């Protein structure tokens, strides 16, 4: 028999029960996630006191040194581009600007906002020493190859720069001469094979002609 129709009150009660179940499941999921996060925080609480390396210890130490040097650059750079007149007013030290401000506080904001590219360039000099050390330690350096004079036959030939403490570029001329000798040897062998084939063909034709001229 078909199910009896439910009244509005019963249907509303079932919807409420179903909604409550969804809320309960959602709350349970949130609670589980919070417990996992809390456990992760507790496990890493002790590690927070110890700085974890981002790359490796040596690289992180170099990064800290660079940051320390960069922090020392800004005040010196601002001082070098500040001109204070007899009234205590501050003028921009860039020759193409020369704007005048009430005091050095406003000038500092101006320098950082309007001339920040020069400050970044000055800070970039702090990286040079470390970049050169990294470059020196690489076996294959990201530099263009150099041209090596290999005489009249081969002219100038590119050679990659390799090495670390003692960079060097290999002389490509010996290898070029070896490849040239191999090429000439192959050409001579091919020419000799072509002459032998031509001679064999000539001999074969002459034999066939002489055999055809003999009376039977």
3-state secondary structure the chain: CCCCCCCHHHHHHHHHHHHHHHHHHHHHHHHHHHHHHHHHHHHHHHHHCCCCCCCCHHHHHHHHHHHHHHHHHHHHHHHHCEEECCCCCEEECCCCCCCEECCHHHHHHHHHHHCHHHHHHHHHHHHHHHHHHHHHCCCECCCCCEEEECHHHHCEEEECEECCCCCEECCCHHHHHHHHHHHHHHHHHHHHHHHHHHHHHHHHHHHHHHHHHCCC
pLDDT of residue 2: 47
What's the mean pLDDT in 30-50?
71
In this prediction the pTM is 0.44
pLDDT digits 0-9 by tens, 140-199? 666 678 888 888 888 888 888 776 566 677 888 889 899 999 999 999 999 999 999 888
């Amino acid at each position: 028999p078909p199910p009896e129709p439910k009244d509005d009150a019963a249907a509303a009660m079932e919807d409420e029960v179903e909604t409550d179940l969804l809320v309960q499941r959602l709350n349970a999921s949130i609670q589980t996630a919070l417990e996992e996060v809390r456990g992760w925080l507790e496990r890493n609480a002790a590690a927070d006191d110890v700085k974890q390396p981002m790359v490796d210890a040596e690289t992180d130490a170099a990064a800290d040194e660079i940051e320390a040097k960069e922090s020392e650059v800004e005040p010196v750079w601002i001082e070098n581009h500040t001109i204070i007149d007899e009234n205590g007013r501050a003028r921009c030290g860039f020759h193409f600007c020369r704007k005048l401000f009430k005091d050095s506080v406003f000038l500092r904001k101006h320098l950082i906002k309007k001339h920040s590219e020069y400050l970044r360039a000055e800070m970039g000099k702090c990286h040079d020493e470390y970049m050169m050390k990294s470059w020196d330690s690489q076996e294959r350096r990201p530099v263009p190859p150099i041209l090596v004079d290999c005489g009249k036959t081969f002219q100038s030939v590119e050679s990659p720069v390799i090495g670390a403490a003692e960079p060097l570029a290999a002389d490509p001329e010996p290898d070029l001469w070896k490849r040239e000798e191999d090429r000439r040897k192959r050409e001579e062998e091919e020419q000799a094979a072509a002459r032998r084939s031509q001679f064999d063909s000539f001999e074969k034709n002459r034999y066939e002609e002489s055999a055809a001229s003999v009376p039977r």
